[in-house]
Structure 1
Amino acid sequence: MSNLEIVLKEEDVYSGNVKGMIPHGRGTYKWKNGTVYEGCWEEGKMAGDGRITWSSGASYEGNFYGGYLHGFGTLTNPDGSTYIGSWRLNIQHGFGRKQYSNSDVYDGSWREGVHEGSGKYTWCNGDMYMGSWKGGLMCGRGVMKWLNGDLFDGNWSKGYRHGTGVYRFVDGNYYFGTWTNGLKDGLGMFYPAISIRSSSSGRLGKKKASKPHSIVRSISIKKPIKGLFRDMGRISNKKISVGVSSMESSAFNSTELLSHNLDEGESVDDYNSSNVVWEREYIQGVLVKERTKNNAKVLSKKEQQRIFLMEEMKRKSTLDIFESRKSNYMMLNLQLGIRYTVGKITPLTMREVRYSDFGEQARIRIYFPRKGSQSTPPHNSVDFYWKDYSFMVFRNLRELFKLDAADYMMSICGDDGLIELSSPGKSGSLFYRSHDDRFVIKTLRKSELKVLLKMLPSYYNHVQAHDNTMITKFYGIHEITPRGGKKVQFVVMGNMFYTDLRIHRHYDLKGSYYGRNTNTYNIIEATTLKDLDLTYKFHMDKSLRDALFKQINLDCMFLESQQIIDYSLLLGLHFRAPEHLKSMLEPPDAYAFNRPQNTTDDGAIFRVDRTIQPTGLLLVTHEPDSVNTAPGPHSRGSTLKAFSVGDKEVDVLLPGTGRLRVQLGVNMPAQANHKVSHDISGSTEVELFEVYDVVLYLGIIDILQEYNTRKKIEHAYKSVLHDPMSISVAPPKFYSNRFFKFLEKVFPSNN
């Protein structure tokens, strides 16, 4: 390698190291148009560290690869805008910070040149958004704080507030509700600001409870939501998205946003004497109904602050940019590893699993350097080691579950990536969901990994023998170890709520009752409720119920044989007439007209059946040509038979929606019976019954807790403090019996 100056035909000039007559090493290249590159070369292409200055005045300093801006670098434009971050083939891709010419700043994740992932955008006027983005627009979970102090924390879609959320006004008022395309839409609760009483003088301070109409006026002076976000930069030629980086230096965090500091000398008092909150109903931004709820439990300001901070701490991984950056690396590593493993083993000839295919030693282990290798592609994540456990077993399981390898890779490893979910449990595990909702990926503790690997041979035999098993479907166990970092294990599972129907209620049922209830101060549609929150009994066709309990019994016997406890039934409800649920919100006096004429005052209980006739769904004979017969990721069994249609295979017909195949745990029709009792005379009680048509989705989850020595000690300790029947932890046989009997009460027999 020598050092030469070469003048090319096009009047370009190169000066530096060469290999033969090709730039190689360090050198400077000057184009005829004035563009100059100074830096490293590799066989005639810019590669390594370097700096390029274009004739337009723009400049880039950082990493190059194959002649492209690739790696990490800083781009400075003539208009004063700058970008510092990751690049892939001349496109911003990865994590980076961009300061626009108008002083707007975006700090976060990029994908193919637009904001996608997690990040923070600060407008030059002081407004700020932090959360998830997709395709350059706010999409997913996020927090928006306006310069005037108003704040929205909730869900977004295509740049608009969309889904559930909470809006906190600068004067201390709160609105919990649902938005559609930026407009309030549906039921919500308005909590007025809390009155503040001076501890020294005893007189009311300036912070009074606001009247509802004052809030309506305050909203009316704002710009329409669509116009507001358009002004903020939601335009096609400058897409706004939020990425993830250096969050630790940001002054914008959930604790600061949702806490309220009291003035010196003030103390927290309850709401105004009427203890009034308002229930509101909107249709596309228009307030159509409003009523007070005088009997509602009202929280003090101090209680609200504590609850909000606790909830935000639970969601910290979603909002904290530093953590989100690590999470995004983890998602990318997971996709790279799964794509590699599935692509490698799929072409192999299908064979029966062997004893050697199970256990910790049956694994693929490979290193993924950032620059790539002979067997792995280059990528924008950190260097990491990939491990795939029992890969041949899970290859056969995916075949057994009728899951196409290409569909599996496209779902998890496609361009849309994965969505991080907030953890619904106490384990602290991270959860991811594929963009098409088919799969859920959960991080495993080391103890859970050992239990799953130990159970895997028996699990394989069980699901092979029972097509209709209700137990979670597992598709793979993987491990990622960033170079110099800690190991993280994952398991890929089927999403039991993979359906086009809307799931209006979620329940996690164990059959125990100590601590099995949910804080009801802010229950939303996505909230997972527990045993004591369940107020329904579900009546099903006799044959459907028999098939359900036959399989639940088999699954419980299997889990008992594996010494597994702490599992639960995940239950999702789709109400066919959700507007009927509004009647439950009416005050007790609304039911007075149902009191029978022969009422006596001797304490009798009157039964009033307010059954809504089941018109929301219909069981019909199965017609394969009329429904989608492709199995979901959580079912593969045959169509179920129903007693009510002559013990024939059935579909559920949903007027105005479609026709669905009924399988065990999937598209199962039922009637949800809800009983409400009201004391209307002081001595007479009326029992009210309401029945709703529902479609059920259910399965057994959380099957990785073994009844080990630690659990035995926990059971003995808690049994002294509480009723042994009430606590969740219990010996496997007792647990399965209690679980089964509880479900028999939830799904009573019609005999």
Structure 2
Amino acid sequence: MSKEKGVLKAWEATVRKTQAAKKRANNLFSTTSVAHVEGDKNNDENDSKGSGKLYHVEKVFPNNDYYTGQWSNNFPHGQGKYLWTDGCMYVGEWTRGKTTGKGRFSWPFGATYEGEFKNGYMDGTGIYIGSNGNSYKGQWVMNLKHGHGMKNYANGDWYEGEWRRGLQEGKGRYQWKNGSYYIGEWKKGEICGKGMFVWTNGNIYDGLWEEGLPKGNGTFKWVDGSSYVGNWSKDPSEQNGTYYRSVSSPEANHEWDPHDVYNVDLDDYKICPSEKVLIFPSQKKLAFGRSSKFEDSLKPTRTSTDGRVSVGMESPLDRLHVRDGDGDESSDVASRIPMVENSEDDLLGLHINDASPRELPMTVPRRADKQGEAISKGQKNYELMLNLQLGIRHSVGRPAPATSLDLKPSTFDPKEKVWTRFPPEGSKYTPPHQSSEFRWKDYCPLVFRTLRNLFNVDPADYMISICGNDALRELSSPGKSGSFFYLTNDDRYMIKTIKKAEVKVILRMLSAYYNHVRAFENTLVTKFYGLHCVKLIGPIQKKVRFIIMENLFCTEYTIDRRFDLKGSSVGRTIDKPKTDIDETSILKDPDLNFIFQLQKSWFQEFCR
């Protein structure tokens, strides 16, 4: 333990000394900005000009991994081959201990990737050949097919077109082994949007698609020139259109049923699924430059704030960079610590350069206790928690007809609310309970039910998280609003009490909010799942209004820093000495002095 503290103190002292010598760099990064990054080519070239000599080595590491090739400054650098004990092997170019450049990675089950690497990732142009005979040739970004590429499937099908994060998305052509093909738009690996399907017999469907099937306006054409034009849907009640006969054969296709397209014509045409890669090259641990004891002191098992283990994650030590006054990156501080394993944070396409003039201490993350105190019988808000759970169970479990995502304007009316009485003895619609009588109000229930469906929230899981046997946990208010915060035991949902005026604001913006999250499925706006009110019956007649939302801190990734951002610097300071700041501290706007560098393609998506 004392060794670990000594290492960390020495490292923090090195960081402070380096930052003091580079004060001019702070002026370059006085504001937060976002920019795309083409890659680390320049940095890698600068790194390769280090003072270390380049020589050939052959090493067998304590864990029996094997490396042979060029070596410099205790790392592979240049051409080399690394063989893991499980049979994985990389042969190619290295830059300061990371696979960067052209190389070949092979898996023990027979799959291979040959092409460009960047910082340990399959990144650039490359060819992947799977053990099942599938192959892909095209562009990659951080282990995922991303850009233009062509995939050949073992059964004879092939696809050529645009890819996005490992799936077909954009415009592309998929051809089946019998010669039939689809050319048009894709989304998340499915035919979706505008496109044309051509069968080998010459028939054509040209129109809109959804989830791999015709949906919306479209035209079906036969070889003889006859056609059917209309609105397409697998639901017969929504299907309608007009049949136009051919002049050459007026009686042909007269008995044809539009649903034959779904039940017959498309029945045998399935999109081959993508194979699953059990482990990526960037996830393979490298044995050089460390001892097992030193690794354990610097790289403990990573856990999220709720105690779950994160595998293959980097620590803050691995991604801190210091820039000098000319804007050039100086030697990577993290490189003074022996390399432990490749980072997985870059799967998100996010690099963070810390340019804050305020020095925040960096600590090795530890297993964090669950936040808040479990509400137990006898506590002040125990009865309120029971009322809340009863109300949620009633609201979510109440039968409701399936609705379209196209909601009527009346469903967003602030007057659209449902009151339910909960007597202790129970009623026709409510169960008996042990707390005092109360009334329960649902604001715009159809809207929030549809939002939960839009956010892929399973009703049963939702009820179990909030209304299960585990008690909610109460948090002390981190802000000045005086609101109470409650967390579910699995940390998935947060419940916040709000004022009447805040309810009015939410209801006023609800329609715009719904349209936004529906249009932008990757939005970072907080997800709201329900808006409710509990009214206690009796002399007090107290009303408690609250909103249920996602808990942003429920993640498998380790959280190193937390920020409460309001878009203002007035009164936005943290009342803690620097030495007491850790991963649970809530930092404010002035503390967020970072430059976020995104992959070019993801930066363009961010700007849309």
User: Could you tell me the TM-score, scaled by structure 2's length?
Assistant: 0.37
User: Could you tell me the TM-score, scaled by structure 1's length?
Assistant: 0.30
